[in-house]
Each structure stands twice: as structure tokens, then as C-alpha cells.
Amino acid sequence: MHQPLISILTPFRNSSYFITPYLESIIKQTYPNWELIIVDDHSTDDSHNIVASYAQGEDRIKLLKNQGKGIIDALKLALNNSSGQYITRMDSDDLMAPKKLELMIHDLKTHGKGHVALGLVNYFCEEELGEGYQNYEEWLNRLTKSGSNYTEIYKECVIPSPCWMVSRDDLLACGGFNNDIYPEDYDLAFRFYKQGLKCIPSNHILHYWRDYSYRTSRTDDHYATNHFLKLKIHYFLELDRDADRPLVLWGAGFKGKFCAKLLKKNKVPFIWICNNPKKIGKHIYKLKLHAISALSHLQQPQVIIAVSNKKSQKRITSILENHQLTKAKDYFFFC
């Protein structure tokens, strides 16, 4: 029986401490017809030599050197040198579950083009795993189990960068890795959403996600909060904003203020509300802050919520639903 080729794309830089178990987890996959296109992004440690030694004994591993700089350039190079009918991405410090490729390609062959295969993720750490990552894992897996990832796409990245698989044609239709926009994984998730790729539900832990203090997402400025907010506002205005309806921004903390500046920069009119009595009636960026009661005077508003506190989010949800507003259609959590 013909087994389609899966191309696994991996950029790496100075991954010598983690790269051997990463490679072993790929070699031990139950699905055999894969190629690993692994790109060295200017490593200065021994990781290139480690990968080269594996590539000598395993012709499915293709080692390249990044002529550009950074993850996006490395991913472009990897995709351009791949041959697979199906494409997935992997990080050089993580681990694949043994049946990851087998189960993901089964889902894609079952559902066909226009879908993205996903899997549950499990964070692990040599030290104690932080509460934030535990919460993110729980939240992400809850969405993936039902395939409802896009319903909270403005909150966080709903498609984990090293745990998706799509057909080559679908990835190219989304623009591949041609967008020079960071965070690149979140941008790609938005383009999957824009293209209408449906998320296939999964109940299998397929990816083991390593956390450590110096991982790129923790240390690189490309993954700072302001870049995430810029991306969220950009795609919200393009994909979900209904200009015929009033727009409300709820929250006047750091993220609320940053969103307000972005909306103002884009010349998007909005009503700014909060529940802080010290701020209500004040002006920030020459914009007046209103009480929550302002919602009652608006006809079918769209609401951006930039409030991080979980208890406050539950209360806000209750208020908005009492106004007959629906999540992911009328109101959108941005944190």
C-alpha cells in the first residue's frame, strides 16, 4: 500500500543538549515514509556535527545550512528543499510521540484537503513547570479535543508550532513561510484560519514540548507581547471586524492601552470601557474611558476584551452573554 511522503521541517541553533533525543524520537516513528529537512541556523556549538553524524547513517535526514538568518529564513529553505505531499514542523528541543506521524497522516487522509491535523501536547521540564505553561497546555488541549481551536484564536496561538500537519497544497495556498512576520507560528495559525482550514479533533498526546529558561520563545524579542497584539489587531480588522457595527475595547491595563494605540493608529473608531472607577471619565491618548454601562446604549457591538484576570474574564463573559452577544462572533478575548 502506497504511503505518502511526509516532510518534517526543523530549524535549529545551538541545540546540542537536546538534539539527540529529538532525532531519536523521529527515527523511531511507526510511520516510515518521512524525510527530515533540518536547517542549521548558524550554530556555534556541536549540534551541527551531531546532526551530520546521524545523516551519514540515515538517508531520510537532509542537513542544510541557513544562508539567511532566523527561523523564518530557515523554514523557507527547508520547505523549498522538501518533497513531501504532507508537511509538518518540529522543534529541535522537543520529542515526538512514537505514533505522531502515523496518526496525523491518517487524520488528513480521512478528512482530505482543507484540514489541519493536530494533536494534544504535553509540556515537560527538568525543573518545576511554571503554572502559566500548565494552564496553556490545558487550554490548548481542551480546544484540540473538540477541534474548536479558532474560537479562541485571538487569545493565544491555538495551533502549536511543532504539532500540526497539512497537505503541501494547503500550506502553499496559505503562503507557506513567505510572511516575514513574527511570531511566525501565530501568523501561520491566522493564515490557516483565513484560508478556512478545518481543525481535526484529536484525543492523542502526540507532542512532548520541552520548557527551559533560555528557549527562544522566552528570550527572543520577536516573541514579546507587543508583537502578539499587533498580529491580533491586524487579523481581527482583516477577518472578523464588521465596520457596520460599533466596536468596543474593554480594559485599560497595559494590553488594553496597547490595543487602543493600535486601533487609533489604524483610524478605527471605538468606545473604550473599563470597570476601574479611577479611570472612568479620564482621557488616555485623548480618548475618554466609559463605564461598562455604555454597552446598554449600543446596538449589536463587537467587543475586544483585553483583560487577563481569569475571574474577571468569567464575569465579563456573563455580562456580554446577558447582552445576547456570542463568543467568537460578537466578542473576542485578546488575552
For residue 218, what pLDDT is reported? Answer: 45
Q: Are residues 172 and 274 in the same domain?
A: no
What pLDDT band is residue 126 in, cutting at 50, 70 and 90? confident
* pLDDT per position as a tens digit, 30-76: 999 999 999 999 999 999 999 999 999 999 999 999 999 999 999 99
* pLDDT per position as a tens digit, 80-123: 999 999 999 999 999 999 999 999 999 999 999 999 999 999 99
Kindly report the average pLDDT of the chain as a whole number.
Answer: 94
Total residues found in the chain within this entry: 335
Q: Are residues 216 and 253 in the same domain?
A: no
Record the pTM. Answer: 0.94
The three-state secondary structure class of 20 is helix
Q: Is residue 239 in a domain?
A: no
Q: Are residues 47 and 193 in the same domain?
A: yes
State yes or no: pLDDT of 238 exceeds 60: yes
For residue 131, what pLDDT is reported? Answer: 74
* pLDDT per position as a tens digit, 161-177: 999 999 999 999 999 99
Cell numbers that stand for 23 in this block: 532525532
Residue 120 CA to residue 200 CA, distance in Å, equals 11
Q: Is residue 301 in a domain?
A: yes
Q: Are residues 287 and 145 in the same domain?
A: no
**CB burial class (10 A; 0-12, 13-18, 19+) of residue 227?**
middle
What's the structural domain count of the chain? 2
* Domain that includes residue 175, residue range: 6-223
Q: What is the CATH number of the domain that holds 258?
A: 3.40.50.20
Residue 326 CA to residue 320 CA, distance in Å, equals 8
Q: Are residues 169 and 302 in the same domain?
A: no
For residue 215, what pLDDT is reported? Answer: 53
